[in-house]
Amino acid sequence: MISNKLLKKVFIFAFILLLITVLTIVFLNLFLKVSKPETTEKDKVSISVPVLNPLDKSNNNFPFPLSQEQIDQSLMQNQEIVISSVKTNWPDEINDSLLKNGWKLISLSRANDGGSVIYYYFKTKNTPALSINYHWDMFKGQFQSLSLNFIHPAKIGAWLINNKPHFENTDVDIESLMECLGILYETSPGISECIK
């Protein structure tokens, strides 16, 4: 049988070993915290990088997702893409983003309800044009939705002709936008041609 003296020695040895292990872990943690330089608020650099929405298939950095199916339906079937819960700063943010992306704001028209506005954008005659209509809720004092249309390149001339009344306060020369030396004429519904 094991004597009491031997048991006491084993217990004391185990206790000392456990105590050394615990103290080593505590000292290592304290040493790592002391040697690690702390960053202060003034050491931090904030970099403003535009956050690209990976769900936006239009590549226009919209703050909402657009699927390829929505874009195709807008282009081919003239279906509006409706986005609800619009933030108040979206018209300015989206406009700035589109202008940086090479779009030209050819006009905007405001409604008499205190906030609704339509933005008309053009890039080239071979790129779909774009209109964004922000719908204002007078009673809530905020945007209720926006509707977005991509206009197929084959229909841009007709779209420009149909919306010409909205461009009265701007210097839009439809013929020069379409690089037409003659007159743009809608030859069939939704299709326009340059007549010299």
Domain assignment present for 91: yes
SS3 106: strand
Q: pLDDT tens digits, residue range 175-191?
A: 888 888 888 877 787 77
pLDDT over 70 at 37, yes or no: no
Domain assignment present for 41: no
Domain assignment present for 118: yes
Question: CA 37, CA 39: separation in Å to the nearest integer?
Answer: 7
Tally of domains in the chain:
1
Question: CA 127, CA 125: separation in Å to the nearest integer?
Answer: 6
pTM of the complete model beyond 0.75:
no
Strands (E), the chain: 81-84, 104-110, 117-122, 129-137, 142-151, 183-188, 191-195
Domain assignment present for 32: no
Q: Which domain holds residue 139?
A: 68-195
pLDDT interval class at 36 (50, 70, 90): very low
Token pair of 180, please? 């037409």
